[in-house]
Amino acid sequence: MIDDIEYNTEREHLIIPELGRHMQKMVNYAKTRETKEERNKYANAIITAIGNLQPHLRDVPDFKHKLWDQLFIISKFELDADSPYEKPSKEVLEERPAPLAYPQNFPKYRFYGNNIKTMIDVANTWEEGEMKEALTFTIANHMKKCFLNWNKDTVEDAVIFQHLFELSEGKINMKNTEESLTDSASLMKSNSKKKYSNTNSNSKNNKKKHSNNNSNRNRKRY
């Protein structure tokens, strides 16, 4: 009969699980050595053993530095041994990272999306000229297309120009322009073409899968 069976629930918590429990026991044993000479001897032997467990990291810069850091972390920073590198700080390791600010975007006209606002901000940085005028008309046409995707109806250019004026904080004013945007019918037609092509591609894929499944069934029968 085996009386003293060691269960994982009764064992010491593994600080770096990928290095294994035996490595942690070796570090704990090194901590108990009385002289610093002995501790240094065991520490260097443990560093060699850890390096053999992680040969894929040999080409990583500061490979040995990382191993020494792992050694002190496993020892809970209690191993008094000489390291060729600066010892890691327990406070720095346990310091909680600063919370990341989650971007809060609440666009006034959600149907345009967030990319439109980015495009408008870029257009505001351009100098006045033909290039900026072409860019603003491209943005306005895209806004009209997005509006039709959401509304499924016609929309006046004046509405798009007003929205563009608001989103650009008054820096892009196309209200008095004599040039018209692409007509709604053409934009809706292009949208329907894309949807139709996507539907066809999906149906073709489904048919292909169905035919492959049928052929596999026929092979199994024969």
pLDDT at 105: 64
Least trusted range by pLDDT, from 33-42, 70-79, 210-219: 210-219
Least trusted range by pLDDT, from 86-90, 111-115, 197-201: 197-201
> What is the number of residues in the chain?
222
Indicate if 115 and 147 belong to the same structural domain.
Answer: yes
pLDDT at 185: 79
Q: Is residue 153 part of a domain?
A: yes
Cα dihedral value 45, 51, 53, 58, nearest 10: -170
Is the Cβ–Cβ distance between 30 and 79 less than 8 Å? yes
Of 71, 94, 117, the position where a domain reaches its end is 94
Model confidence, pTM = 0.46
pLDDT tens, 92-110? Answer: 888 888 887 776 666 678 8
pLDDT at 42: 93
Q: Is residue 99 part of a domain?
A: no
Confidence of residue 221 (pLDDT cuts 50, 70, 90): very low
**Per-residue pLDDT at 171 exceeds 70:** yes
Residue 140 belongs to what domain range?
Answer: 106-185
Of 94, 122, 142, the position where a domain reaches its end is 94
Q: Is residue 218 part of a domain?
A: no
pLDDT at 155: 84
> What are 85's two structure tokens?
């590198």
Q: Is residue 159 part of a domain?
A: yes
Confidence of residue 112 (pLDDT cuts 50, 70, 90): confident
Question: H-type helices in the chain, by residue range?
Answer: 21-31, 36-53, 63-74, 90-94, 114-125, 130-151, 157-167, 184-221
Write down the mean pLDDT value for the chain: 81
Count structural domains, the chain. Answer: 2
**Per-residue pLDDT at 195 exceeds 90:** no
**Per-residue pLDDT at 40 exceeds 90:** yes
Confidence of residue 72 (pLDDT cuts 50, 70, 90): very high
Cα gap 46→43, rounded to integer Å:
5
Q: Is residue 45 part of a domain?
A: yes
